Structure 1
Amino acid sequence: MAPSLRDAQVASLKTLLNLNTPLAQVDLDDANEPSTPKNPWKVLVFDSRGRDIISSVLRVHDLRAAGITIHLHINTTRSPIPGVPVVYLIEPTAENLAILTSDLQRGLYENAHVNFLGKIDRPLLEEFAAQTVASGTAEHIAQLFDQTLDYVCLDPDLFSLNMKGIFHTLQSALTADKDLENCMDRVVDGLYSVIATMESIPVIRCPKGGAAEHISAKLDRKLRDLVLSSKTNSSSDQKARPVLIIVDRALDLTPLLSHSWIYQSLVYDVLDVDLTKINLRIPVDKNDPEKGTKKLSYDLTASDYFWARNATLPFPNVAEDVTNEWNKYQEDADKVTAKTGTSIEDLSGESQQFAAHLRGAMERLPELRERKATIEMHMQILEILMEGIKNRHLDRCFHIEEELSAKSKVQMLDLIKNDLGNNSVDKLRLFLQWLLTTEEDISRADLDSFTQALEAVGAETTAVKYVKTVRQLTRMTMISSAPTQPAQSTSQLFGGFSGLSSRVFKDAKLSANLEGVLSGIKNFLPKNTDLTLTKITESLMDPSNAQNDAIRATENYLYYDPKSSTARGTIPAASQSRNQQNTVGRGIDATFGQRRQGFSEAIVFSVGGGSMDEYGNLQAWATRTSASGQNRRVVYGSTALYSANEFITKELTPLGKEST
């Protein structure tokens, strides 16, 4: 099986840190040593984007293993470190190049290995070359590379271009054509980086009109240049190719507003998550609230086995599994204690109690300590999630959304006024979803009544003004789907969990009142329902088993093949990307054979924002359909990954202010 996107990016980064020498060329003996003649000690300098990219997949011990003795931000004050090479990982901007030139003039390091995250524009490169020649520092530049790493990998097959505000930029009538072009060029560069990392030229499918078509056309041109300049890439290549599905976020806004019962979606909804770092506020003393709170941070790393196994599962399953994992850990720890006569906490690698017959038990200590830290981290996360679920009635919100579109105007108004307490933001999210999905006619008077009711409970309703303007268009592109299995009661599961886990959480020195936290939380598993984007993906990957509505929705999707001489066209003005209906097609209309062509691998990209809920839904579909025979893989990406509150605040509210 092909490596995951994260594994491929990690391999590229390690090669970069090894001074762009493939790791296979390093002797095996040298590979185990942090610093060797072939892999010397180095300084790493990055800008903010480079930091985000590298910190999402590598940790400090990974950098040390690659020979990085110190890592610094390019904008910090840095002292000279003579005799040591430096690796730069930066965006190709005029500001960064000015600092780089200054570093070379000051002689901060022995020599510079410069790596740009994306391709540097020729005028900027010529200007940098002129500055280097004028300052006489050319001899200090050992390497200069255009890398294709301009994206952030957040999970094995999840990436983000980390471009917040793109949905507003593309949808706003106030955005200048030049800004639109620059915005789309950045998206194209990011997608090009992902494709280059995966080392496979995809077929591109997208709807007619809008930013998705414009980006597809630009990307097609760029990939054609790659195919023409590559000696190994030929149209006769028999390697199975993926399909790249590019859609506009306006296709379906509900996944960015919905409440989920899936672990990873709850984490991103309830907690403060920055890329792969979870920031928590916990009490200094749970028995004395007056002592205030302290900050606690956790990283979701590739080695986190519990997250890898449970991220896409419903919350009750995760709560049960953490209990089982703690019990397994306690059993293994007890076995070590029985052999050594002392507990794991009292043992250390330097202990004088070592004896030959105890070596086997001692060798398990690092693994047991790591397991304990992982389990305790997720226990802490689950405890705070439980509080959030109870305080915000998230179980009730999720249950309401299961049948939200069937609610009448009277029922929805009553829910806003009398249900869920004064949870204003969650009520706004419920209403926006209902507005986008209901079949009822909504008059101006109806909308005023809803707006007043939301404002009465403290909601900021500016976003409603924008959503009402795109309601009809979004309703035409959304695809309804009957659940493949009904919601399941889990009262027995949750009941058993609360009694057993209360003791377990006490043992882990967490909440002593777990039953109180869990009381009132509804116990059920979600319906197995595919979202609109999942249905579209199925219709393009597996059309023989797709829903008829999805087949009709993708019937007129454009077809681009960068390896074909026919599937291409011209690029119109950027301002036409705002028009969802009247843009002249630039790809080709797919033939019947192309429309019915199946794929085992897809890259699904949303222009304007994505959500963990959508990612999890796609992965669940891929897992479910792979079980029936052909293995399927879906890589999901977006211009930025949002929580619902962030999407409303940063994207919908500014657009609402511009709406009349």
Structure 2
Amino acid sequence: MQINTSLIQAQRDALTPILKPDIRIPWKILCYDSYCEKRLSTIYRVGDLREMCITLHFNLDQNRERLHGVTALYFIQPIQASIEKLVEDFNRDLYSEVFINFSSPVENTLLEYMAKELSKISGAVQKIQKVYEHNLDFVALNHNFFNLENQVVTGLFSIIMALKVQPLILFQKNSKIEQIAKELIEKLKQFEFNSDYPLLAIILPDRDIDLNTLIMHSNTYGALLHDTLNIKYNKVKLEDQVYDLSPQYDNLWLQACNMALPDAIDKIDNELNDWNTQYQQVSQQNQEISSALNAIDLVPQMNQQKKMVDSHINLAKQLTQIAKQKSLDKFYQLGQSILQNETVTVNDYPQSEDNQVEQSKEIDKLRLLILMLLNNYNQQEFKKFEQVFQIKNEKYLNILTNFKQRVASNQNNKQQSVYKSLFAAITSKIPNSGKGLLKNFQNYLLQRKKSSIVQMLENLFLNELKIDELQSILTMYDSRVKNISRLEFGLLSTIKGILVCFTEGACYNEYAELSDFAKSINKVIIYGGNKIYNAEEFLVQFQ
């Protein structure tokens, strides 16, 4: 059996029984809390809900009028606050029939609380048609990209259930992740997996093996957008406009997200040219009835396509303006040189005479300095950069101080050195080349140094000589035998896919790298974490 290659489709399949229960009613409304709203917002649009006869949808925090004769579908997280709001709705006698859906199994104490409170309300229990418990504790941002929103154990379990797979859990011994892995394993032991389900290797690495990828500047369209405009649950706000980047509706985002910026902009430009060509062809069609009818049929599709292209033109225009102003391509080039231990000097930094422009770069300067610290770069050069950068933001200075202390305390950490020796690899830089619309951004076409997680996967699945070394630091739980199993070479031919989850932060930068690696080994790789950070969001935790 092949693995389901789409988290979006898997979650749609799981959500459909909630939104379209097997009942014959002309129309219904949907009520959700903020937690479940995020799961819905990346999967459905309003038009999709209408097709399922959902005419109104509300957050529980919204003021709502009484609608007698109406069936209400509730989709909420099983927590005290959401259950209290549910009880309040019954108190107000808002709806005639109610279906209650919890995003994950409910604790007995909460069920007892709900039953006790509803029993005090006349007619409340009779209104409840069904109560369901689901496993939907993850947000599908793309077909192979997820956000667990800090619900790591229940989130990973939900993904396993949604994809219908048999999991192999691999995690590092004596690491911060070990306790989380053990909790997940205990949960899995209570479940009998179908032996026909495909095998999925779930890798739970310690974030400490690679902080570089979360901090470094990127060259891909998606990562740069997240860095500069901050993507939140597939939505980007630019001035007063909100752009929806959900891949099931935006094929251009699906294709361009992980492309290098110049390639992505060329892709956007090509899409615009294709649309213009199609528009001219439709406009020039003769006036025969059949041709006219075909042209009319194409209008909605072409309007949607033009809206999609215009969205990316606006986003790319804003992104390139910010990138040019802040010299982000140069920061990317400097970062790659540091990672590959090449010589960089303060003369390589394009300092602006405009103080306001220099101030806008403070977060970028901080990222470069931290990259130097993490990679034990030449201390003299570090001090020169620190002096030239002159960071004034007190928050950023505190972060830099904390990283200096962190690096100093880790220098003698033997376990850290073991990880680095296992995942170390040398990659070379390809020559600069200009392309298309962004000749000033040719640095974005430099080859990236492989991240630690890509090197780890290469050693695990492609390098037979590394298996014994990895065996000493990795534990593998096999759900087929409900026990710890020995790590052996040849695992890649056995599994149907790989899931990588960082429990202390994931990012678009790493997502792009793993997507490229997936193509090279011809396997599905699903990626995500407890949170999806851009560099600034990640760094502010260290202030």
So what's the TM-score if we normalise by structure 2?
0.89
What is the one-letter code of the residue matched to 1:605? C
Q: Which residue of 1 aligns with 2:252?
A: 306
- Any conservation in 1 of the 2:391–2:397 contact (CA below 8 Å)? no
Indicate the larger mover: 460-469 or 328-337: 460-469
Shift of 1:468: 3.1
What is the one-letter code of the residue matched to 1:608? E
Q: Which residue of 2 aligns with 1:145?
A: 132
Shift of 1:521: 3.5
Cα distance in 2 for residues equivalent to 1:453 and 1:616: 32
Q: Which residue of 2 aligns with 1:192?
A: 157
Shift of 1:522: 3.6
Q: Which residue of 1 aligns with 2:263?
A: 317
Cα distance in 2 for residues equivalent to 1:9 and 1:320: 32
Cα distance in 2 for residues equivalent to 1:449 and 1:652: 23
Cα distance in 2 for residues equivalent to 1:135 and 1:189: 32
Change (3 A) 1:4 1:454: same
Change (3 A) 1:529 1:547: farther
Shift of 1:562: 3.2
Change (3 A) 1:414 1:358: closer
Q: Superposed, which structure 2 residues align to 1:608-619 within 5 Å?
A: 608-619=504-515
- SS of the residue 1:210 aligns to: coil
- Any conservation in 2 of the 1:605–1:636 contact (CA below 8 Å)? yes
Cα distance in 1 for residues equivalent to 2:350 and 2:299: 56
Change (3 A) 1:592 1:355: closer
Q: Which residue of 2 aligns with 1:70?
A: 56
Cα distance in 1 for residues equivalent to 2:243 and 2:138: 22
Q: Which residue of 1 aligns with 2:214?
A: 256
- SS of the residue 2:67 aligns to: coil
Change (3 A) 1:361 1:190: same
Q: Does 1:380 align with 2:314?
A: yes
Q: Does 1:58 align with 2:58?
A: no
Q: Superposed, which structure 2 residues align to 1:587-602 within 5 Å?
A: 590-592=486-488, 598-602=494-498
Q: Which residue of 1 aligns with 2:224?
A: 266
Deviations 1:470-493 (A, max 9, x none): 43355653433333x7434332x2
Q: Which residue of 1 aligns with 2:273?
A: 327
Deviations 1:558-603 (A, max 9, x none): 1212342542xxxxxxxxxxxxxxxxxxxx6x35469787533111
Cα distance in 2 for residues equivalent to 1:280 and 1:554: 48
Matched pairs, number: 525
What is the one-letter code of the residue matched to 1:187? V
Deviations 1:324-375 (A, max 9, x none): 221111111111212278xxxxxxxxxxxx9554111111111111111111
- Any conservation in 1 of the 2:432–2:442 contact (CA below 8 Å)? no
What is the one-letter code of the residue matched to 1:156? H
- Any conservation in 1 of the 2:170–2:476 contact (CA below 8 Å)? yes
- Any conservation in 2 of the 1:89–1:117 contact (CA below 8 Å)? yes
Cα distance in 2 for residues equivalent to 1:239 and 1:226: 13
Cα distance in 2 for residues equivalent to 1:547 and 1:621: 18
Change (3 A) 1:15 1:134: same
Change (3 A) 1:127 1:148: same
Aligned with 2:17 (options 15, 18, 33): 15
Cα distance in 1 for residues equivalent to 2:165 and 2:504: 25
What is the one-letter code of the residue matched to 1:490? S
Change (3 A) 1:407 1:520: same
Shift of 1:392: 0.8
Shift of 1:238: 4.4
- SS of the residue 1:278 aligns to: strand
Q: Which residue of 1 aligns with 2:108?
A: 122
- SS of the residue 1:259 aligns to: coil
Cα distance in 2 for residues equivalent to 1:107 and 1:561: 50
Q: Which residue of 2 aligns with 1:290?
A: none
- Any conservation in 2 of the 1:45–1:73 contact (CA below 8 Å)? yes
Cα distance in 1 for residues equivalent to 2:293 and 2:493: 58
Q: Does 1:634 align with 2:530?
A: no
Indicate the larger mover: 10-19 or 254-263: 10-19
- Any conservation in 2 of the 1:212–1:247 contact (CA below 8 Å)? yes
Cα distance in 2 for residues equivalent to 1:211 and 1:609: 13
Q: Superposed, which structure 2 residues align to 1:549-564 within 5 Å?
A: 552-553=469-470, 555-564=472-481
Cα distance in 2 for residues equivalent to 1:486 and 1:325: 30
- Any conservation in 1 of the 2:230–2:534 contact (CA below 8 Å)? no
Q: Does 1:84 align with 2:70?
A: yes
- SS of the residue 1:482 aligns to: coil
Report the aligned-residue RMSD: 2.8
Q: Which residue of 1 aligns with 2:327?
A: 393
Shift of 1:457: 5.5
Cα distance in 2 for residues equivalent to 1:432 and 1:490: 28
Aligned with 1:607 (options 503, 527, 538): 503
Cα distance in 2 for residues equivalent to 1:591 and 1:298: 45
- SS of the residue 1:464 aligns to: helix
Aligned with 2:166 (options 189, 193, 201): 201
Shift of 1:210: 2.8
Aligned with 1:211 (options 171, 176, 180): 176
Q: What 5-or-longer segments of structure 2 have no aligned partner?
A: none
- SS of the residue 2:283 aligns to: helix
- Any conservation in 2 of the 1:201–1:223 contact (CA below 8 Å)? no
Q: Which residue of 2 aligns with 1:297?
A: 242
Deviations 1:11-51 (A, max 9, x none): 211221012x4xxxxxxxxxxxxxxx636411111111111
- SS of the residue 1:111 aligns to: strand
Q: Which residue of 2 aligns with 1:468?
A: 404
So what's the TM-score if we normalise by structure 1?
0.74
- SS of the residue 1:202 aligns to: strand
Q: Which residue of 2 aligns with 1:95?
A: 81
- Any conservation in 1 of the 2:272–2:309 contact (CA below 8 Å)? yes
- Any conservation in 2 of the 1:436–1:475 contact (CA below 8 Å)? no
- Any conservation in 2 of the 1:603–1:636 contact (CA below 8 Å)? yes
- SS of the residue 2:458 aligns to: helix
- SS of the residue 2:140 aligns to: strand
Cα distance in 2 for residues equivalent to 1:322 and 1:408: 34
Change (3 A) 1:129 1:43: same
What is the one-letter code of the residue matched to 2:284? A
Aligned with 1:110 (options 92, 96, 104): 96
Change (3 A) 1:524 1:488: farther
Change (3 A) 1:616 1:280: same
Q: Does 1:433 align with 2:433?
A: no
- Any conservation in 2 of the 1:112–1:142 contact (CA below 8 Å)? yes
Change (3 A) 1:554 1:412: farther
Q: Which residue of 1 aligns with 2:430?
A: 487
Shift of 1:405: 4.0
Change (3 A) 1:449 1:528: closer
Quick one: percent identity of the two aligned structures? 23
Shift of 1:552: 3.3
Q: Does 1:477 align with 2:415?
A: no
Indicate the larger mover: 239-248 or 615-624: 239-248
- Any conservation in 1 of the 2:216–2:367 contact (CA below 8 Å)? yes
Deviations 1:506-565 (A, max 9, x none): xxxxxxxxxxxx57444551315431112223333x2xx238668735642012123425
What is the one-letter code of the residue matched to 1:116? F
- Any conservation in 1 of the 2:29–2:55 contact (CA below 8 Å)? yes
- Any conservation in 2 of the 1:97–1:128 contact (CA below 8 Å)? yes
Cα distance in 2 for residues equivalent to 1:602 and 1:135: 49
Q: What 5-or-longer segments of structure 1 have no aligned partner?
A: 22-36, 164-185, 228-232, 282-294, 342-353, 498-517, 568-587, 627-631, 654-660
What is the one-letter code of the residue matched to 1:375? V
Shift of 1:300: 0.7
Deviations 1:309-332 (A, max 9, x none): 111111111121222221111111
Q: Which residue of 2 aligns with 1:533?
A: 453
Cα distance in 1 for residues equivalent to 2:487 and 2:13: 38
What is the one-letter code of the residue matched to 1:263? Y
